[in-house]
Structure 1
Amino acid sequence: MAQGVTGTELTQRQWVFAFSLVTSLFFTWGFAYGLLDVLNSHFQEIFGIGKTQSTLLQLAYFGAYLVFSPFASLFMEKYGYKRGIHLGLSLYSLGAIFFWPSAKFRAYGGFVGCTFVIGCGLSCLEVAANSYISVLGTPKYAAARLNFSQGFQGVASFAGPLIASRWFFRGKNATTLDTVQWVYLAVAGLGLVLNVLFYFCPLPEITQDALAEEMHEAGMDQDSEPFIKQYHCIFGWVAQTAYVGAQVAVAALAVNYLTEQGIGIEKPFASQLFSFCQITFTVGRFVGVVLLKWIDPALLLSVYAIACCVFALGVTYGPGAAGVGCMFALFFFESICYPVIFTLGTKNLGRHTKKGSGLIVMGVGGGAWWPPMAGAIADHISTAQSYVIPFAGYVIMAMYAIGMVISQTRSGGFRVRAVDEIAQKRAELQTTGMVGRRESDSDIIDKKGSQEFVETV
């Protein structure tokens, strides 16, 4: 397999294979995340702990992203995407398998520790998979590709609550950890199977040098600046931290919120409703794929971020069924936020791509400390009032999105278009087999005409 390629230099068959295999990873951490929020409520019953203490699971899971993501990005800079995926899957399976003794000895601290190991594995997978999908093709459709792949994360995330509503909260299982053992044994098995598949399957390596060369061919030299001056990435990390913190806080207390709305919702049905919220989120992801084909990602993110602010307040102050309706709307408008922030933050980083990916994924660590803040308000005031914490996160995200729209409007769109022209030309050459002689990338740019220098994105 060729080394030192970009995503646009792969043949159609190579592209489809690589895209499909890496997309399968999104299902892996979606399933783990979907189970996490339900376990949060289940452990309150099993161990007799409060809402704030139960969010230690979120602290461990998302704290792992804060700690491990920088190491993961450095590891992949040296050893490549494929070895990074192997490392992530190994940690994922290791953490899951130790859920068994934790359940056997009813050790809440053991669950927290295992969740941290799983989080380390998933942070490594996210750095690899999000970054790989983003650069696996033209920059123009990076956000749409990542939304499509992450849609399968959403499919897995509502499978967790459905499993929980069927087995965790019914009969004797409402007060035992037996089913938790078996579910996480299956999770460990899934990680092992994927690890074996990636070992035997070739995966084209997209290198930093190849990405940098593609940018320089298009006359884009942003990556020649030190990483600390890649401001769209630095502020993207801030926005991602705020958004993920808000998203996790919303989900962590969703079951509690639904049961406290005073409309007769019990925990089993609340878990089912939560899974329907996740389905709404997943549908939103695939709707976003279509919208992003026609609408600029920064503009669409601005609209969705403002909608999240509005519906977060609706959840906080909406009575009864109205608040539940706002909860569903909130999940829909959250759908595109993570992948779009990721692609905006890592756009045009060239040789800094893996480092930037690690920083943006480190923003997932926001999920470690926002839920405890929301949990403290839920314990001392009410669960509904705790949703002012997610509202604050959405405001920060909206500021970033609007700032990116303004930044893009002020800068010409020629350079972005130039990269897309190079990518399109390379794809055509790979399809027709004309790899012996190709038109120079500088010629492609020149043919666009001087008028495109003044076009906006």
Structure 2
Amino acid sequence: MRTKEKIVQAEYILPFVLITSCFALWGFANDITNPMVEAFSRIFNMGVGGGTWVQVVFYGGYGAMAFPAAFYIRKYSYKSGILMGLGLYATGALLFIPANAIGQYYPFLIAYFVMTCGLSFLETSANPYILFMGADKTATRRLNLAQAFNPMGSLTGMFVAKTFIQARLDPRGAEERALLSPEQFETVKSHDLDILSSPYVAIGGVIIAVFLIILLTKMPRNEESSHDLNLWEALKNLLRVPRYYEGVVAQLFYVGAQIMCWTFIVQYGQRIFMEQFGMTAGDAAQKAQAYNIVAMACFLVFRFICTFLLKYIRPGRLLMILSVGAIALSLGAIFLHDIRGLYCLVGISACMSLMFPTIYGIALRGMGEDAKFGAAGLIMSIVGGTFLPKIQAYIIDRETILSLPAVNVSFLIPLICFVVIGIYGYRTFTIHYYAD
């Protein structure tokens, strides 16, 4: 049904613009980092499993800080939570300077963890804040609009990863690096770490500037709220709503699927371009990342298309339809072992475009003040990005399974995720009955 309600009311325009910019900033962080699994694997001569520790600590920071962030914003304000998030984000990015000087893997993991503790604060604060910037009936559309700027940051992160990191790293793969002397290996590693660290240090400076702008901007008074910290009462209220706790589960599987599709597309394409086109490991990784950028462009375009479709199609129904599409394309990625499989993997991003903000909006609609803790539960579900990619990486490292490329078989894990999301979409419009 078409609605005449404004998506964003006039008094919220400036705060909406400023907070929406944060969506792009954490999109940048997410998608400059996903390709670093392959980069760190090469730099430190580890398997894919070793490289995925980047994802474990990156998304582990979300889980570790989600409820502390909820307590913080409940006690103070959304603006305070956003400023804390930006401060931790900038600190983590600038920690790449000492990590690079040390030259070991683990200091980089610490930097990622601090950075994503900041992202957890940002997402826990910004998502419910956007929901409240207008009528309840338009909350899901409003969040989809704000979230549409997230893939713009993601595209920028992917472009920076491809152009300023992957294209400039030493192109030698694991086997060639293993033949280097210890001195040669250290020289190559130092060179590559310098290249990898520079964009993170630069984004740290950008985050400091955004921090100052938001600090000096007056936010609406109604972002201030009750300081009552009755967590147990809020949790009891939330757990009475199946639409909420099922949404947390769906979000966990969605985040895992998103990270797996955008991380391991590099390994997926790398196999195709090395085996079928004779490229080197470095060139093949760059080529695969170009397809990842195309996937993100599809994600961005379809985010706007799906936001428009939400005016006419119930959120749960559209969520289910796109889940079915993602399942079909996942099957193509598994069973097609040439460039067609890569096309299917790119297409999955179009289906994913609606999922995160729609699950979020469905789960939190009508929660009122409890949405702050509810938001923390949904952000904590981002821990799906820690263990699900680790499982997929374990499969990929086996190289072949039943004479099939293991990287193709590994996309059974995202397929299962989309089944769970589809079930949530179906239950939303048939059992929980949700409509904008």
Task: State whether TM-score is above 0.5.
Answer: yes
> C-alpha separation between the residues in 2 aligned to 1:392 and 1:10?
34
1:353 aligns with 2:371: yes
Which residue identity does 2:379 align to in structure 1?
V
Paired position in structure 2 for 1:156? 153
> C-alpha separation between the residues in 2 aligned to 1:228 and 1:208?
25
- Kindly indicate whether the alpha-carbon contact (under 8 Å) linking 2:8 and 2:133 is maintained by their aligned counterparts in 1: no
Matches within 5 A, 1:219-238: 226-238=237-249
Paired position in structure 2 for 1:333? 351
Paired position in structure 1 for 2:428? 404
1:248 aligns with 2:259: yes
1:378 aligns with 2:402: no
Paired position in structure 2 for 1:144? 141
| Secondary structure class of the residue paired with 1:260 | helix
1:208 and 1:232, CA in 2 relative to 1: closer, same or farther beyond 3 A? farther
With normalisation by structure 2, the TM-score equals 0.86
> C-alpha separation between the residues in 1 aligned to 2:220 and 2:260?
37
> C-alpha separation between the residues in 1 aligned to 2:50 and 2:376?
29
1:287 and 1:9, CA in 2 relative to 1: closer, same or farther beyond 3 A? closer
Paired position in structure 2 for 1:127? 124
Which of 256, 274, 287 is the equivalent residue of 1:269? 287
| Secondary structure class of the residue paired with 2:34 | helix
1:223 and 1:323, CA in 2 relative to 1: closer, same or farther beyond 3 A? same
Matches within 5 A, 1:30-41: 30-41=27-38
Partner deviation per Cα, 1:300-359 (whole Å, 9 max, x = no partner):
111111111111121111221210111111011011100000001111112211111111
- Kindly indicate whether the alpha-carbon contact (under 8 Å) linking 1:311 and 1:326 is maintained by their aligned counterparts in 2: yes
1:395 aligns with 2:419: yes
Paired position in structure 1 for 2:167? 170
The alpha carbon displacement at 1:188 in A equals 0.7
1:46 and 1:291, CA in 2 relative to 1: closer, same or farther beyond 3 A? same
Paired position in structure 2 for 1:191? 207
1:117 and 1:374, CA in 2 relative to 1: closer, same or farther beyond 3 A? same
> C-alpha separation between the residues in 1 aligned to 2:364 and 2:40?
37
1:111 aligns with 2:108: yes
- Kindly indicate whether the alpha-carbon contact (under 8 Å) linking 1:85 and 1:128 is maintained by their aligned counterparts in 2: yes
Which residue identity does 1:177 align to in structure 2?
L
The alpha carbon displacement at 1:223 in A equals 8.4
Partner deviation per Cα, 1:41-68 (whole Å, 9 max, x = no partner):
1111110011111111110011111111
> C-alpha separation between the residues in 2 aligned to 1:398 and 1:10?
27
Partner deviation per Cα, 1:115-160 (whole Å, 9 max, x = no partner):
1111110011001111111121122222222122112110111222
**Which has more radius of gyration?**
1
Which residue identity does 2:372 align to in structure 1?
K
Paired position in structure 2 for 1:440? none
Paired position in structure 2 for 1:77? 74
Which of 65, 68, 79 is the equivalent residue of 1:68? 65
The alpha carbon displacement at 1:11 in A equals 9.5
> C-alpha separation between the residues in 1 aligned to 2:256 and 2:346?
18
Which residue identity does 2:414 align to in structure 1?
P
Q: CA RMSD in A?
A: 2.3
Paired position in structure 1 for 2:25? 28
1:51 and 1:226, CA in 2 relative to 1: closer, same or farther beyond 3 A? same
Which residue identity does 2:21 align to in structure 1?
S
1:407 and 1:207, CA in 2 relative to 1: closer, same or farther beyond 3 A? farther
Paired position in structure 1 for 2:381? 363
Which residue identity does 1:299 align to in structure 2?
R
Matches within 5 A, 1:276-355: 276-355=294-373
Structure 2 stretches lacking a partner, 5+ long: 172-187, 227-232, 401-405
Which residue identity does 1:377 align to in structure 2?
I
The alpha carbon displacement at 1:85 in A equals 0.5
1:310 and 1:244, CA in 2 relative to 1: closer, same or farther beyond 3 A? same
- Kindly indicate whether the alpha-carbon contact (under 8 Å) linking 1:58 and 1:367 is maintained by their aligned counterparts in 2: yes
Paired position in structure 2 for 1:201? 217
Q: Report sequence identity in percent.
A: 27
1:378 and 1:294, CA in 2 relative to 1: closer, same or farther beyond 3 A? same
Which residue identity does 1:351 align to in structure 2?
E
> C-alpha separation between the residues in 2 aligned to 1:350 and 1:208?
13
Residue range with higher mean Cα deviation, 285-294 or 28-37: 285-294
Structure 1 stretches lacking a partner, 5+ long: 1-7, 211-221, 414-456
- Kindly indicate whether the alpha-carbon contact (under 8 Å) linking 1:85 and 1:124 is maintained by their aligned counterparts in 2: yes
Partner deviation per Cα, 1:201-236 (whole Å, 9 max, x = no partner):
0111445879xxxxxxxxxxx989733212211111
- Kindly indicate whether the alpha-carbon contact (under 8 Å) linking 2:61 and 2:117 is maintained by their aligned counterparts in 1: yes
Paired position in structure 1 for 2:184? none
Paired position in structure 1 for 2:178? none
| Secondary structure class of the residue paired with 1:326 | helix
The alpha carbon displacement at 1:171 in A equals 4.9
> C-alpha separation between the residues in 1 aligned to 2:100 and 2:162?
19
Partner deviation per Cα, 1:5-28 (whole Å, 9 max, x = no partner):
xxx999944211111011000111
The alpha carbon displacement at 1:280 in A equals 1.2
Residue range with higher mean Cα deviation, 198-207 or 107-116: 198-207
| Secondary structure class of the residue paired with 2:377 | helix
- Kindly indicate whether the alpha-carbon contact (under 8 Å) linking 2:23 and 2:147 is maintained by their aligned counterparts in 1: yes
| Secondary structure class of the residue paired with 2:92 | helix
Paired position in structure 1 for 2:198? 182
1:21 and 1:124, CA in 2 relative to 1: closer, same or farther beyond 3 A? same
> C-alpha separation between the residues in 1 aligned to 2:47 and 2:7?
52
Which residue identity does 1:384 align to in structure 2?
N
